[in-house]
Amino acid sequence: MFRLADRANLDYNMCPSLHVAWAVAGVDVFTGNARLIGKVALWSWAAGLILSTLLVHQHYVVDVLAGVTLAMCMTRLLYPRLRDGRLLQYRSNADFGSTGAATQSVDA
């Protein structure tokens, strides 16, 4: 995950703030099964990260808002489909088409 984030973090990356987007996306996903204390702790951490990007002048408010929007759209629209297998539907080795050709298989 770090390598992916590092590749996406360009030298002049401003809007949206990927610092904020990665943090909010992670917290949004991980708080789904967390207890109240976990939710409070994780969202407090995300709020601190958001404030720190503003206070050290790494990003502007519009960058932060765009990062939050990006993260929430991705975790609410894309993540459920990935989690449930609706976005990427892999077939087992036993699944053959009518032509006898096997479809792509991925071992978990």
The pLDDT value recorded for residue 93 is 44
Which two tokens mark 44? 């407090």
Greater confidence, 101 or 52? 52
How confident is the model over 32-91, as pLDDT tens digits? 888 999 899 999 999 999 998 888 877 878 888 998 898 988 888 877 777 776 655 554
The pLDDT value recorded for residue 16 is 82
Q: Measured between alpha carbons, how far is 42 from 48 in angstroms, rounded to an integer?
A: 10
Place of tokens 């053959």: 96
Greater confidence, 51 or 98? 51
96 in helix, strand or coil? strand
Q: Does the reported pTM lie above 0.85? A: no
Secondary-structure breakdown of the chain: helix, strand, coil percentages, each rounded to the nearest 5: 60, 0, 35
Which two tokens mark 36? 């109240």
